[in-house]
């Protein structure tokens, strides 16, 4: 197995998507010295009920940078309007260039079937770029990758046209409090926009400490549900006792569009998982 650091590239549609879906994994990779980069393919400038435009985009950029500092990852926010991301050739080339410049070993993103059009576009863009990264005459000023990266999808609960399949499940309990701290940075979303849009704004506490505790409880339930869905895989990965005790988890479903994730490749890409016998 190579001692070279891994390069893990995570794409989200908005400046908090990567944090919720890959934040725990990112901290586990970084603890072992591997490189992780988050990329939001929109600037998030419509994701609020009381502010928008440049002021909101700048606020969300700052929130992303604060969250990135907690996880010790680079966090890029692309200046495309929220809600207007489309899987065009132009944006595909941007994704190809990011994958090449980072020399990505593993790329994580949304699936192309999702409730949000920006999420769907991310899935399509990364999927369509996953082979082209090896073609020298596409984006010829950026050196091509010699082989396509492995492509994986973050957890979702959408069943059409095909349900999500858990291939890798990660125990995030050791880093969960830091993951809550990352989410806490995105105040415009977790304490304002999302509660407003989902109808529970009146439940949000006022003080900083109470908000952080309230958010932790909500995220415990959310990622506890992920652990429940992934329970069988967690038990196979960590053993019956520990797997049954995992309270929060993140998962990956491998795509058929990237490089094939063999068992050896999975062990290399997820070095924080126990060695399988």
The pairing of strands 74-77 and 249-254 is unpaired
Q: What value does the mean pLDDT take over residues 184-199?
A: 98
pLDDT of residue 115 exceeding 50, the answer is yes
pLDDT of residue 1 exceeding 60, the answer is no
Question: How much is the pTM?
Answer: 0.96
3-state secondary structure of 88: coil
Q: Mean pLDDT for the chain?
A: 96
Rounded distance between C-alpha atoms, residue 106 and residue 176, angstroms:
22
The pairing of strands 106-109 and 249-254 is unpaired
Burial class of 271 by CB neighbour count within 10 A (0 to 12, 13 to 18, 19+) = middle
Q: Report residue 275's pLDDT band, with 50, 70 and 90 as the boundaries.
A: confident
Rounded distance between C-alpha atoms, residue 141 and residue 60, angstroms:
31
pLDDT of residue 2 exceeding 80, the answer is no
Rounded distance between C-alpha atoms, residue 184 and residue 63, angstroms:
9
Percent of the chain with pLDDT over 90: 95
Structural domains in the chain plus CATH codes: 7-171+251-269 (3.40.50.10320)
DSSP bridge pairs for 151: 107
pLDDT reported for residue 277 = 61
* Phi (first) and psi of residue 8, to 5 degrees: -110, 120
| 112-116, 117-121, 122-126, range with the lowest pLDDT | 112-116
pLDDT of residue 190 exceeding 90, the answer is yes
């Amino acid at each position: 197995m190579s001692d070279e650091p891994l390069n893990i590239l995570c794409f989200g549609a908005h400046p908090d998507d990567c944090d919720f879906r890959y934040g725990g994994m990112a901290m586990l990779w970084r603890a072992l010295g591997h490189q992780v980069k988050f990329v939001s393919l929109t600037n998030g400038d419509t994701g609020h009920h009381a502010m928008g435009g440049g002021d909101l985009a700048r606020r969300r950029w700052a929130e992303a940078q604060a969250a990135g500092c907690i996880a010790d990852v680079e966090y890029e926010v692309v200046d495309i309007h929220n809600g207007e991301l489309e899987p065009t050739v132009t944006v595909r080339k941007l994704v190809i260039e990011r994958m090449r410049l980072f020399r990505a070993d593993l790329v994580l993103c949304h699936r192309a079937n999702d409730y949000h059009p920006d999420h769907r576009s991310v899935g399509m863009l990364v999927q369509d770029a996953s082979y082209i990264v090896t073609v020298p005459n596409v984006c010829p000023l950026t050196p091509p990758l010699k082989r396509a990266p492995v492509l994986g999808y973050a957890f979702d609960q959408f069943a059409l046209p095909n349900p999500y399949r858990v291939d890798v499940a990660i125990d995030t309990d050791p880093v969960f409090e830091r993951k809550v701290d990352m989410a806490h940075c995105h105040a415009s979303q977790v304490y304002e926009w999302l509660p407003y849009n989902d109808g529970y704004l009146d439940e949000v506490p006022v003080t900083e400490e109470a908000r952080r505790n309230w958010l932790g409880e909500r995220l415990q339930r959310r990622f506890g549900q992920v652990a429940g869905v992934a329970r069988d895989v967690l038990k196979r990965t960590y053993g019956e006792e520990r797997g049954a005790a995992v309270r929060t988890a993140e998962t990956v479903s491998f795509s058929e569009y990237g490089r094939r994730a063999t068992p050896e490749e999975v062990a290399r890409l997820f070095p924080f998982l126990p060695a399988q016998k």
